[in-house]
């Protein structure tokens, strides 16, 4: 009976995958000979975070990859050390991670892929913040190998100031039992030790040369997709996802700029397997998420602006699930 149920469940998943592939076309690169998509052979590429393994003593959780397993308590007095200011930062190096940043006492400092650097925003709160204590912004100083101009701060949801490096909020890990531990590396595929330039240390560093799509927690709309510069990304009701087709042509493109096709290893906070590309009638390639074409709005002047939301009842910011924001 158990084996029969497993076969049924597997069959259901297989059918769902076939339907998704058929709906979008059988390729990540959906071409428009005219405005309609022409299916082509190819394979899906999953982002680097999907294959990252959890660090020792930690497991990926269902709530953003921040849950810690095993022994998450440090030696007596360790908790107090992990909640104070970083003071003089240091740069350490080992064979596994290469160069990474620690605080003045040697505790490894981390970053979270579901945060955003432009604008700086922490999305680790409540239980997450217990397992990943935010590093206070006060009394932090750069050291050799770290540009002082890259240090900054962000105001958290509780009103406290958190240290940032190259815009990324900085954390310690409750699962590190002593200075020098790096057990938070790779947890949930979203947590990494910080390299001196703010990028993730270790093998994932090359995959994060610069993010091209990420998720921002907007105060009004919730989690929405933004481009690598932090500009809000939109979808158009007059486009079609099944089959993929563009309804924004001619003068429309003066106001709504297609997002260029992205490298799926350079996205954070959204399912990289749903990131595809579409060949527009002029031959250029446009990024799509969950089969919907992505645009930015010329009326947005700075990161975080959502001036395109609801324009003419047809343009909407895109949620981290690919849905229309605010609907």
pLDDT digits (tens, 9 = 90+) for 213-265: 999 889 899 999 999 888 999 999 999 998 999 999 999 999 999 999 998 88
Q: 188-213 as b/e, with b when 16 or more CB fall inside 10 Å?
A: bbbbbbbbbebbbbbbbbebbeebbb
Asked whether residue 179 falls in the same domain as residue 263, the answer is no
Nearest CA to 184 out of 52, 275, 280 is that of 52
Query: Is residue 322 in a domain?
Result: no
State how many domains the chain has. Answer: 2
Report if residue 70 sits inside a domain. no
Domain final residue, candidates 193, 223, 256: 193
Last residue of a domain, one of 147, 162, 193: 193
CB 192 within 8 A of CB 201: yes
On whether both 162 and 219 belong to a single domain, the answer is no
Q: How confident is the model at residue 321 (pLDDT cuts 50, 70, 90)?
A: very high
Q: Let me know if 150 is exposed, middle or buried by CB neighbors in 10 A (0-12, 13-18, 19+).
A: middle
| Same-domain status, 90 and 161 | yes
184 within some domain: yes
DSSP code at position 295: E
Q: Which pLDDT band, with edges at 50, 70 and 90, does 45 fall under?
A: very low
- pTM recorded for the entire structure: 0.48
Q: Which domain holds residue 121?
A: 82-193
Q: Is residue 324 part of a domain?
A: no
92-113 confidence digits (pLDDT tens): 998 888 999 999 999 999 999 8
Whether 45 is covered by a domain: the verdict is no
Residue 240 and residue 172 share a domain: no
Among left, alpha and beta (phi > 0; psi -120 to 50; other), residue 254 is alpha
Q: Is residue 129 part of a domain?
A: yes
Alpha-carbon gap, residue 268 to 188, rounded angstroms:
12
Q: Within this chain, do residues 276 and 176 fall inside the same structural domain, yes or no?
A: no
Q: Is residue 56 part of a domain?
A: no
Using left for φ > 0, alpha for ψ between -120 and 50, and beta otherwise, residue 224 falls in beta
| 234: in domain | yes
Same domain? For 260 and 218 the reply is yes
């Amino acid at each position: 009976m158990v084996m029969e149920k497993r076969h049924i469940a597997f069959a259901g998943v297989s059918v769902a995958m076939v339907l998704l592939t058929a709906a979008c076309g059988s390729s990540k690169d959906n071409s428009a000979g005219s405005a309609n998509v022409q299916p082509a052979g190819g394979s899906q590429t999953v982002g680097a975070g999907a294959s990252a393994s959890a660090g020792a003593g930690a497991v990926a959780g269902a709530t953003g990859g921040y849950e810690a397993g095993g022994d998450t308590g440090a030696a007596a007095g360790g908790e107090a050390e992990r909640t104070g200011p970083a003071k003089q930062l240091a740069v350490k190096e080992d064979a596994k991670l290469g160069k990474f940043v620690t605080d003045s006492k040697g505790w490894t400092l981390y970053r979270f892929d579901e945060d955003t650097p432009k604008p700086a925003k922490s999305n680790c709160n409540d239980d997450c913040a217990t397992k990943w204590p935010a590093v206070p912004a006060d009394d932090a100083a750069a050291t050799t190998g770290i540009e002082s101009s890259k240090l900054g701060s962000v105001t958290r949801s509780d009103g406290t100031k958190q240290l940032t490096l190259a815009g990324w909020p900085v954390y310690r890990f409750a699962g590190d039992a002593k200075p020098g531990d790096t057990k938070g590396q790779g947890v949930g595929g979203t947590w990494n030790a910080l390299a001196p330039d703010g990028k993730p240390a270790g093998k994932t560093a090359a995959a994060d040369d610069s993010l091209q799509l990420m998720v921002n927690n907007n105060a009004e709309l919730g989690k929405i997709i933004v481009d690598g510069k932090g500009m809000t990304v939109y979808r158009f009701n007059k486009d079609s996802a099944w089959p993929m087709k563009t309804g924004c042509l001619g003068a429309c493109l003066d106001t709504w700029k297609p997002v260029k096709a992205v490298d799926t290893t350079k996205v954070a906070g959204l399912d990289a397997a749903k990131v595809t590309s579409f060949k527009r009638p002029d031959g250029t390639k446009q990024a799509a998420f969950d089969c919907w074409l992505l645009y930015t709005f010329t009326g947005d002047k700075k990161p975080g602006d959502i001036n395109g939301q609801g324009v003419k009842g047809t343009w909407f910011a895109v949620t981290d699930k690919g849905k229309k924001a605010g609907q």
